[in-house]
């Protein structure tokens, strides 16, 4: 880690302030936090072969090159400075964080004290800091509720203050500005997020006053606090991103800023404290490199783009947003990237993407490999199915627990809608998913294998039933809010069994598959992946035997023989590039 410093001669010197080997691990730097006056640096260094990280503290003195760390803390997940001598941090055991400590740096040495312990195994705990640095928050979250404690940075040794006790179904996040707490909570229409405000000294829910709620169909995706404004990242029903800016002293005066139609992902880049009414952010899409924009709400032209000639030289492509009618009539958003007009796409190969879990949006940040596929005339399709977060909290609820199969129906509807619209065809279509997205991909292969020629799965979660019946695994208890608890609820068990990819394999013609899994992966047990591959391979063998022996499979052309390949890699190794070669039809 390098710091730029000014020498006595007025020249800029680059000074090394941290090396990963100071943490005595072979790893990479994960997070960096500077104390308020930048006198101490804290950074986590993560070993490439395990989940836990070590936090290294370094004393930063003017024109002095640090020779060794001030202190090293083990198994740190999140950490934030309250003052130059008080650091709050959480510790990680396996994949769980339940303890918050306060580190006090004194002349007599460093003293660490436990300030919070979570007792509910379904909750995960982390610390964060408000943008104005006034409060440090202890955020306790489960799949269906949350609870926040706060510490005033002006009295960091005091006991944390509870904002609002947890209650089923209540999700909220806390920010601070000008002695007011600004709370983003799912108390709006349809239990979606809205902004509320309450005095710093009266944090409980009965004092919360609504400040801003999105319009029909729009959902809040992120919030950025400035000195005198609050900026919301909004997503419209078809997936278009917008910025909504409100003055904190006049929240009814909302300014809507349209973003480029190609923008699919936004990453804010504010640094330091809320000492200005401006910030920068990056816009990108899977096929468009990040472009930096600046937002200054008080200016006549609040939104400006940073000049970058390299992006103007990109070949033109189309971003098309569609909707697919699912089995129950729900309209499911689709985002397409293509070089040629849609009517000319019948013979184009297509790569379909899906996730649909945990209320998370499908990753639509820039990926150079996707740009190469686009330049080679592929169609890239992104299916924003229920279970994900693209359309808000209700969209997630409509695709979890007993409704998980809705995501499979949505995925099937998206692919069939594309075919009906003249985009590609089954023999030229591949599906890709990773982690929990593999549940929907695997379930689709069991139910409608004829829709696909190939499937690419990375670190796939495929044995839902087996995993959720084993409470000894690190995430089983925490994940019950997403999948259900088959051990105590027979309806949950029957529901999971009805769609679990590993337990619904049948003797039929499956698409070819490339599965990449990782040894030592504690999040997605390798045993479940191997179990799936073993069962699928047996089904492949039976089908191929029937095809060659009886030649009665009209859906099994002699020129096509399905193939399954499992690639095992060490956890955190550099991922190999995955590619698909167009099959001869």
Mind spelling out the 3-state secondary structure of 58-99?
A: EECCCCCCCCCCCEEECCEEEEEEEECCEEEEEEEECCEEEE
581: DSSP letter:
P
What pLDDT, in 10s, does the model give residues 208-227?
A: 999 999 988 899 999 999 98
The pLDDT value recorded for residue 397 is 96
What's the pLDDT score for residue 564?
Answer: 85
Q: What is the pLDDT of residue 49?
A: 66
Sheet arrangement for strand 180-185:
172-177, 180-185, 194-199, 209-212
Q: What percent of the chain lies above the pLDDT cut of 70? A: 89
Q: How confident is the model at residue 189 (pLDDT cuts 50, 70, 90)?
A: very high
Task: Identify the weakest region by mean pLDDT among 196-200, 469-473, 567-571.
Answer: 567-571
Phi and psi of 342, rounded to 5°? -55, -40
* CA–CA dist 227, 393 (Å, integer): 28
Q: What separation in angstroms does the CA of 408 have from each of 40, 280, 405, 497?
A: 50, 38, 5, 14
- Is beta strand 255-258 parallel, antiparallel or unpaired with respect to 288-295? unpaired
The pair of three-digit structure tokens given for residue 262, joined into one six-digit string: 């190609």
- Please say whether the beta carbons of 130 and 176 come within 8 A: yes
> Which pLDDT belongs to residue 177?
93
CA 349, 353, 355 angle in degrees (round to 5)?
165
Name the nearest CA neighbour of 476 among 530, 528, 426, 415. Answer: 528
pLDDT at 62: 59
Please give the DSSP secondary-structure letter assigned to residue 386.
B
In 118-240, where do the E strands start and end?
Answer: 124-129, 135-141, 146-152, 161-164, 172-177, 180-185, 194-199, 209-212, 219-225, 229-235
Average pLDDT score over residue span 516-523:
82
What phi, psi does 183 have (nearest 5°)? -115, 120
Work out the average pLDDT over 85-108. Answer: 94
Of 205-214, 278-287, 411-420, 536-545, the one with minimum mean pLDDT is 536-545
Q: Residue 553 phi/psi, 5° resolution?
A: -85, 100
**104-113, 127-136, 307-316 — which is least confidently predicted?**
307-316
pLDDT at 5: 66
Lowest mean pLDDT among 18-27, 219-228, 436-445: 18-27
Q: Identify the pLDDT of residue 307.
A: 67
Residue 468 backbone zone (phi > 0: left; psi -120 to 50: alpha; other: beta): alpha
Check if the beta carbon of residue 472 is closer than 8 Å to that of residue 450: no
Contact 82, 151 (CB under 8 A): yes
Please give the average per-residue pLDDT across 532-558, as a whole number.
Answer: 72
Asked if residue 553 has pLDDT above 60, the reply is: no
Q: Is the pLDDT of residue 309 over 60?
A: no
Does 582 score more than 70 pLDDT?
no
Check whether 96 has a pLDDT greater than 80. yes
**Residue 262: how many other CB atoms lie within 10 Å:** 16
Q: Choose the weakest-confidence range: 60-69, 262-271, 506-515, 519-528.
A: 60-69
Residue 299: what pLDDT?
84
Binned at pLDDT 50, 70 and 90, residue 23 comes out as confident
Q: Looking up tokens 């990375």, which residue turns up?
A: 458
Is a pLDDT exceeding 60 seen at residue 305?
yes
Of the ranges 15-29, 292-306, 530-544, which one carries the lowest mean pLDDT score? 15-29
CA 548 – CA 525 distance, rounded (Å) = 35
The pLDDT, as a whole number, for residue 574 is: 33
Higher pLDDT, 12 or 209: 209
Which pLDDT band holds residue 577 (cuts at 50, 70, 90)? very low
Q: Does 485 score more than 90 pLDDT?
A: yes
The count of residues in the chain is 585
- Secondary structure of residue 218 in the 3-state scheme: coil
Mean of pLDDT over the chain: 88
pLDDT at 549: 65
Q: How far apart are CA 387 and CA 403, in angstroms?
A: 8
Of the pLDDT bands very low, low, confident and very high (cuts 50, 70, 90), residue 558 is very low
For residues 177 and 191, what is the distance between their CA atoms, to the nearest angstrom?
Answer: 25
- Compute the radius of gyration of the chain from its Cα atoms: 26
The two three-digit tokens of residue 489, written as one number:
């609820």
506 token code pair: 């049948």
Whether the pTM exceeds 0.85: the reply is yes
Residue 143 and residue 78 in contact, taking contact as beta carbons nearer than 8 Å: no
**pLDDT score, position 306:** 76
Please say whether the beta carbons of 85 and 101 come within 8 A: no
Q: What pLDDT score was predicted for residue 6?
A: 64
Question: Distance between CA atoms of 247 and 376, rounded to whole angstroms?
Answer: 46
pLDDT tens, residue by residue, 36-90: 998 999 999 987 667 778 899 998 875 566 668 889 999 999 999 999 999 999 9
- Min mean pLDDT across 271-275, 342-346, 553-557 is at 553-557
Q: Six-digit token pair at 502? A: 């590993």
DSSP state of 388: B
* Mean of pLDDT values over 302-322: 76
């Amino acid at each position: 880690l390098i710091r730029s410093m000014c020498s006595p001669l007025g020249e800029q010197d680059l000074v090394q302030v941290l090396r990963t080997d100071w943490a005595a691990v072979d790893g990479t730097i994960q997070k960096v936090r500077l104390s308020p006056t930048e006198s101490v640096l804290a950074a986590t260094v993560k070993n490439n072969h395990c989940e836990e990280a070590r936090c290294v503290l370094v004393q930063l003195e003017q024109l002095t090159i640090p020779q060794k760390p001030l202190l090293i803390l083990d198994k740190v997940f999140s950490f934030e400075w309250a003052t130059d001598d008080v650091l709050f941090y959480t510790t990680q055991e396996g994949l769980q964080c339940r303890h918050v400590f306060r580190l006090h740096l004194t002349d007599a040495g460093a003293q660490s004290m436990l300030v919070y312990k979570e007792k509910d195994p379904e909750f995960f705990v982390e610390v964060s800091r408000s943008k104005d640095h006034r409060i440090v928050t202890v955020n306790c979250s489960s799949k269906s509720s949350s609870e926040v404690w706060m510490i005033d940075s002006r009295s960091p040794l005091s006991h944390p203050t509870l904002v609002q006790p947890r209650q089923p179904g209540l999700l909220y996040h806390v920010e601070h500005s000008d002695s007011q707490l600004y709370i983003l909570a799912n108390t709006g229409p349809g239990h979606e997020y809205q902004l509320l405000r309450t005095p710093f000294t009266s944090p409980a829910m009965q004092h919360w006053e609504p400040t801003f709620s999105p319009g029909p169909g729009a959902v809040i995706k992120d919030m950025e606090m400035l000195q005198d404004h609050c900026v919301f990242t909004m997503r419209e029903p078809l997936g278009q991103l917008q910025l909504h800016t409100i003055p904190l002293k006049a929240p009814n005066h909302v300014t809507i800023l349209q973003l480029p139609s190609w923008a699919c992902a936004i990453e804010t880049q504010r640094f330091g404290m809320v000492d200005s009414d401006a910030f920068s952010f990056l816009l990108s899409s899977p096929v468009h490199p990040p472009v930096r924009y600046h937002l200054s709400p008080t200016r006549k032209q609040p939104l400006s783009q940073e000049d970058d000639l390299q992006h103007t030289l990109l070949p033109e492509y189309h971003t098309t947003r569609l909707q697919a009618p699912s089995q129950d009539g729900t309209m499911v958003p689709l985002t397409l990237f293509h070089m040629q007009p849609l009517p000319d796409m019948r013979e184009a190969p297509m790569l379909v993407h899906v996730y649909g879990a945990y209320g998370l949006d499908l990753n639509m940040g820039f990926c150079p490999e996707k740009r190469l596929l686009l330049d080679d005339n592929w169609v890239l399709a992104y299916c924003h199915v229920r279970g994900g977060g693209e359309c808000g909290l209700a969209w997630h609820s409509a695709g979890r627990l007993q409704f998980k199969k809705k995501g499979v129906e949505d995925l099937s509807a998206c692919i069939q809608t594309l075919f009906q619209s003249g985009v590609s065809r089954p023999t030229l279509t591949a599906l890709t998913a990773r982690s929990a997205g593999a549940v929907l991909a695997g379930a689709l292969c069991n139910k409608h294998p004829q829709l696909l020629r190939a499937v690419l799965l990375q670190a796939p979660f495929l044995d839902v039933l087996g995993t959720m019946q084993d409470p000894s695994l690190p995430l089983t208890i925490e994940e019950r809010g997403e999948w259900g608890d088959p051990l105590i609820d027979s309806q949950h068990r029957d529901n999971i069994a009805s769609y679990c990819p590993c337990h619904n394999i049948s003797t039929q013609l499956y698409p070819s598959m490339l599965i990449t899994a990782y040894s030592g992966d504690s999040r997605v047990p390798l045993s479940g992946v191997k179990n799936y591959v073993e069962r699928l391979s047996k089904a492949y063998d039976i089908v191929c035997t029937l095809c060659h022996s009886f030649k009665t499979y009209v859906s099994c052309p002699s020129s096509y023989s399905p193939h399954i390949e499992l690639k095992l890699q060490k956890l955190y190794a550099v991922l190999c590039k995955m590619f698909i070669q167009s099959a001869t039809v």
